[in-house]
């Protein structure tokens, strides 16, 4: 496996502009001769499909939902970063670049991060032109708020539903291209395999989730925009349908998987409340602008929060990090919340949680202002918990959220398989070991609107893929493999449900490869996951058949992939003998309990190559060089 990042030469401020000039172009008249498959219709997928359709390519866009509007991007609440400095606080492209590299604990490529910060200013203009209703101040200017890991207000937002509003903007652009015939939309279709011909990605195999039909789709290039894999933990903030199947099947066809253990635990989710729970609910990080995080100073104090006087409250983030306070990065806030719970200071009936209190903000600003900023989030919390956060503090606790790992891509967002491009959360490229809040939407739209439409043309103009159709043996073989796995899942007829296996896997991953990890625990997890995978293929029960709607069959296929991915995540976490961002090995921490990196040995991207069902994966390393942001121990004090 060759890891050529293709990072352009020259000063970092000029790399993207120079690179765009040097990209080979496809004649506008020739674009209509090229078919491009886009898998996923969230922010990254919808924006990419719409933009490439507008450029003239023949785009085929697939999603497993009944509408692109149901993509998980709608769940992003708090905002989108951009270095416009409307607030005159000293922000700049350089500061956003610096904050992102530092926030990711120096485990991201500088060139990619700088490009992301550079493009961020264009994203806002694009979305405003589409009619996205960003919040505005009294004078009518676009408003901003703060997010974790930054000391400036650079986050543009639409109350607590920014992701939904941005997705509607991308969706309308996509539907315009569908109407014009430039994009063909395939809803309720799930990608189950990647087809590689002569070493290049040339199509996919899908299952129609309504009829069960297995079909092949041919293209000159394939773009995966299928999101992250936090549902490997079973309970996460992700929608129940989010899965890793597309990128995992691509990994098994030769695409390198980078940094799989870099998973983010979000500090502000509603705490879990029982065995029967199917997912966790995110409370936007934007709430940390006005909410203060605290626990009782005395372990085991079960008094109602409003009966605990100020002198007996520990605002621990403000105490430990006076410069950033409640706006420390997510990995830091999450670990500190766990630490408070482990000390017996957890709140609520289960003792698993901390308070997020808006009392002072309501007194200072008035309830009306808080309602304007966060009203829908407060309503959601009230509906789920039955508690009124205007009168009592919210109870929050960390939960699996975003995955920084994903398929390895070069500067052009192409994987180790020529022709297979990966964008948004599905790739590993821009965040390092921890993602700053409000940067997911930024990356998805940067990749989809501004990067992939240009770089994919360079591939097509250079590779000049030959025409072929679905009768090619590679497509027949891929279809046969998909049908065989489907048949096998349905034929086991065991005694345990898919959900039972998924829940047990999630418990293993959370306990041993979650917020805190140890070598001993990861070794144990590897054995447990292998045993569980064997039990799955011997004892899972998948009712029904494959000729119609069968959600248990869908779930079983996805859990089969999670069982393999979980092992790779543990293997990656075990080999990385350091702590970095969301990867916290308890053996490697500073005296203050912060993540302690080992830059001499682990300043690289860990890229895993599939070596077969019975062989361990092969580790490749892409060294990371820091020329513009010098390596240092992170400090937010």
pLDDT digits (tens, 9 = 90+) for 494-526: 999 999 999 999 999 999 999 999 999 999 999
Look at residue 275 and tell me whether its pLDDT is greater than 80.
no
Do the Cβ atoms of 626 and 20 come closer than 8 Å?
no
Structure tokens at 166: 């941005």
Tokens 């799989």 locate to 260
- At residue 222's C-alpha, the angle toward residues 221 and 226, to 5°, is 165
- Residue among 518, 532, 495 nearest 576 (CA): 518
Please name the residues in contact with 530: beta carbons below 8 A apart, sequence gap of 6 or more. Answer: 567
pLDDT at 184: 98
Do the Cβ atoms of 44 and 225 come closer than 8 Å?
yes
pLDDT at 604: 98
Structure tokens at 25: 């172009």
Structure tokens at 309: 């006087």
**Domains recognised in the chain with CATH numbers:** 268-398 (3.90.700.10), 473-608 (1.20.58.100)
Look at residue 273 and tell me whether its pLDDT is greater than 90.
no
Q: Which of the following is catalytic: 330, 336, 435, 571?
A: 330
What's the CA gap between 440 and 74, in Å, rounded? Answer: 12
pLDDT at 483: 98
> What value does the mean pLDDT take over residues 187-211?
98
Look at residue 626 and tell me whether its pLDDT is greater than 90.
yes
Among the listed ranges 25-39, 97-111, 124-138, 273-287, which one has the minimum average pLDDT value?
Answer: 273-287
- Residue among 350, 475, 494, 431 nearest 101 (CA): 431
DSSP state of 595: B
- At residue 562's C-alpha, the angle toward residues 560 and 564, to 5°, is 80
pLDDT at 178: 98
Cα-to-chain-centroid distance, residue 345 = 31
Residues of the chain above pLDDT 70, percent: 100
Please name the residues in contact with 342: beta carbons below 8 A apart, sequence gap of 6 or more. Answer: none
The verdict on whether 292 is a catalytic residue reads no
Q: Whats the size of the chain, residue-wise?
A: 637
> What value does the mean pLDDT take over residues 133-141?
92
pLDDT at 276: 81
Task: Give the CA distances from residue 493 to residues 529, 533, 564, in Å, rounded to whole numbers and listed in that order.
Answer: 21, 16, 21
pLDDT at 234: 97
Look at residue 403 and tell me whether its pLDDT is greater than 80.
yes
For 74-110, the pLDDT digits (tens) are 999 899 999 999 999 999 999 999 999 999 999 999 9
Confidence of residue 252 (pLDDT cuts 50, 70, 90): very high
What's the CA gap between 635 and 609, in Å, rounded? Answer: 35
> What value does the mean pLDDT take over residues 521-538?
98
Please name the residues in contact with 197: beta carbons below 8 A apart, sequence gap of 6 or more. Answer: 468, 472, 474
pLDDT at 295: 98
Mean pLDDT for all residues in the chain: 97
pTM higher than 0.95, yes or no?
A: yes
Do the Cβ atoms of 356 and 394 come closer than 8 Å?
yes
| Phi, psi dihedral angles at 511 (to 5 degrees) | -70, -35
For 321-373, the pLDDT digits (tens) are 999 999 999 999 999 999 999 999 999 999 999 999 999 999 999 999 999 99
pLDDT at 300: 96
For 414-434, the pLDDT digits (tens) are 999 999 999 999 999 999 999
Confidence of residue 228 (pLDDT cuts 50, 70, 90): very high
SS3 at position 361: helix
> What value does the mean pLDDT take over residues 610-614?
94
> What value does the mean pLDDT take over residues 63-78?
95
DSSP state of 451: I
Residues of the chain above pLDDT 90, percent: 97
């Amino acid at each position: 496996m060759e890891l050529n990042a293709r990072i352009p030469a020259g000063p970092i401020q000029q790399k993207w502009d120079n690179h765009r000039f040097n990209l080979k172009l496809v004649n506008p008249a020739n674009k209509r001769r090229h078919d491009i498959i886009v898998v996923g219709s969230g922010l990254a997928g919808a924006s990419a499909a719409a933009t490439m359709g507008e450029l003239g390519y023949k785009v085929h866009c697939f999603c497993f939902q009944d509408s692109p509007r149901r993509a998980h991007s709608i769940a992003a609440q708090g905002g989108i970063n951009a270095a416009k400095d409307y607030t005159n606080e000293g922000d700049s492209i350089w500061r956003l670049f610096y904050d992102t590299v530092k926030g990711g604990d120096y485990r991201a490529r500088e060139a990619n991060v700088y490009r992301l910060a550079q493009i961020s200013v264009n994203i806002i203009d694009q979305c405003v032109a589409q009619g996205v209703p960003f919040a505005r101040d009294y004078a009518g200017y676009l408003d901003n708020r703060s997010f974790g890991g930054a000391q400036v207000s650079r986050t543009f937002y639409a109350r607590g539903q920014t992701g939904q509003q941005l997705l509607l903007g991308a969706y309308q652009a996509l539907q315009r291209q569908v109407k014009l015939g430039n994009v063909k939309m395939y809803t309720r279709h799930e990608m189950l395999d990647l087809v590689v011909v002569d070493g290049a990605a040339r199509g996919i195999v899908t299952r129609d989730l309504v009829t069960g039909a297995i079909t092949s789709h041919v293209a000159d290039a394939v773009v995966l925009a299928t999101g992250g894999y936090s549902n490997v933990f079973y309970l996460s903030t992700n929608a129940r349908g989010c899965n890793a199947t597309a990128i995992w099947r691509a990994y098994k066809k030769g695409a390198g998987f980078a940094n799989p253990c870099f998973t983010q635990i979000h500090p502000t989710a509603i705490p879990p409340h029982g065995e029967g729970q199917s997912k966790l609910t995110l409370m936007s990080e934007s709430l940390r602008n006005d909410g203060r995080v605290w626990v009782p100073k005395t372990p085991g104090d079960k008094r109602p929060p409003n009966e605990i006087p100020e002198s007996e409250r520990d605002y621990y983030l403000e105490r430990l990090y006076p410069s950033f306070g409640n706006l420390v990065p997510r990995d830091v806030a999450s670990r500190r919340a766990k630490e408070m719970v482990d000390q017996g200071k957890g709140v609520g009936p289960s003792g698993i949680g901390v308070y997020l209190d808006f009392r002072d903000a309501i007194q200072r600003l008035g309830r009306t202002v808080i309602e304007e900023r966060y009203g829908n989030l407060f309503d959601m919390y009230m509906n789920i918990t039955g508690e009124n956060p205007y009168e009592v503090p919210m109870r929050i606790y960390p939960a699996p959220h975003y995955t920084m790992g994903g398929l390895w891509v070069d500067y052009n967002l192409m994987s180790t398989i020529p022709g297979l491009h990966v964008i948004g959360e599905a790739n590993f490229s821009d965040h390092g070991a921890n993602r700053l809040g409000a940067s997911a939407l930024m990356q998805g739209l940067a990749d989809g609107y501004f990067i992939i439409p240009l770089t994919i043309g360079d591939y097509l103009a250079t590779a000049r893929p030959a025409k072929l159709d679905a009768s090619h043996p590679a497509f027949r073989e891929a279809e046969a493999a998909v049908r065989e796995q489907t048949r096998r899942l349905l034929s086991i007829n065991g005694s345990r449900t898919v959900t039972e296996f998924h829940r047990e896997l999630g418990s293993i991953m959370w306990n041993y490869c979650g917020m805190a990890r140890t070598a001993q625990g990861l070794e144990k997890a590897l054995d447990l996951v292998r045993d569980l995978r064997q039990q799955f293929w011997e004892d899972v029960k998948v009712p029904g058949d494959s000729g119609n709607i069968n959600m248990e069959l869908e779930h079983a296929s996805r859990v089969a992939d999670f069982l393999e991915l979980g092992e790779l995540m543990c293997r990656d976490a075990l080999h990385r003998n350091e702590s970095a961002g969301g990867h916290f090995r308890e053996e490697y921490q500073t005296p203050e309990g912060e993540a302690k990196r080992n830059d001499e040995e682990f300043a690289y991207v860990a890229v895993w190559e599939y070596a077969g069902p019975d062989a361990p994966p092969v580790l490749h390393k892409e060294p990371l060089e820091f020329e513009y942001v010098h390596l240092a121990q992170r400090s937010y004090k």
